[in-house]
Amino acid sequence: MKKILISFLLIILCAAGLEARTYALCTAISTYNRPGLCQLGQSTKDAKAFSLMLKKRAKDVSLITGQNATEAKIKSTLGKIASAAKPDDQIIFMFSGHGGKNFFCAYDKNMSYYDLLAILSKSRCKNILVLIDACNSGSLANAVTNLKKDGLWKANIASIVSSRLVENSMENGLVGAGLLAQGVMKGMRGKADANGDRQLTIRELFKYVYNDVTVHAKKMNHSQHPQLIAPAAMQDYVIWSWQ
């Protein structure tokens, strides 16, 4: 009887060890010490709020903000996550701050979307979600094209970005959040679950975020259109669920 009990406990422990994990890196800069980059009111708040939401469900959540969010620190932390994640795990990367064509602005220098996606493409993880709340973030699509040309692209990354290639991304001071971050967090709290099955797919999240952002942007007399940059096969991946 004792041997049976021990065997049963070992099976449970092994099963627990095989359970899929979520790894997340939330990064943001509100105040830059760089010429031409104005102060942002909500970026750091958004990253902190998003990381707190994720921590309710996941243990492996990192938050890097302000002067700590250097290009080297982001690359190093993301590289460790990419290496640690197993095929059935999930990786979420979120950035909120300034951006330009083909890059986002880390605290000390610009980090290219090519470098970002190249790091993630090396991971064994099959379910990677990238969220970018920055101006001109639609230019991330160029990085996908270039990685494919270089033979470095793996179809394991879905990206939801806040704007088209030549659009600015707005903050909503009334609710204290960037429009994309606001939509993503509302969506992941249940509002994006269109069919009510308590499982949120990338497709469902994007549809909700797109509508939420465009509606709020219009109220601000602004035009902003989030973009989904993802392989068709990934769009029905479940990224969040509720008991």
Domains of the chain by start residue, with CATH: 20-170+225-236 (3.40.50.1460)
Residue-level pLDDT at 171: 81
What average pLDDT does the chain have?
A: 91
What is the per-residue pLDDT across 26-42, written as a single tens digit (0 to 9) for each?
Answer: 999 999 988 989 999 89
For residue 174, name the pLDDT band (cuts at 50, 70, 90).
low
Distance CA 47, CA 120 (A): 20
Amino acid code (one letter) for 195 = N
Q: What is the Rg, in whole angstroms, of the alpha carbon atoms belonging to the chain?
A: 19
Q: How many whole angstroms separate alpha carbon 76 and alpha carbon 88?
A: 22
Is the model's pLDDT at 136 over the cut of 80? yes
The alpha carbon of residue 233 and the mean position of all alpha carbons in its chain are separated, in whole angstroms, by: 18
Burial 37-53 (b: 16+ CB within 10 A, else e): eeebebbbbbbebbbeb
Global confidence as pTM: 0.91
C-alpha 22: how far from its chain's center? 12
Q: Flag the least confident range among 15-19, 22-26, 58-62.
A: 15-19
Query: Measured between alpha carbons, how far is 117 from 3 in angstroms, rounded to an integer?
Result: 49
Question: What phi-psi label fits residue 183: left (phi over 0), alpha (psi between -120 and 50 degrees) or beta?
Answer: alpha
Per-residue confidence (pLDDT) for residue 11, from 0 to 100? 41
pLDDT beyond 90 at 238: yes
What percent of the chain is modeled with pLDDT above 90?
Answer: 83
Helix (H) or strand (E) holding 100: strand 99-100
pLDDT by residue (tens digit) across 55-110? 998 999 999 999 999 999 999 999 999 999 999 999 999 999 999 999 999 999 99
Mean pLDDT, residues 208-229 = 96
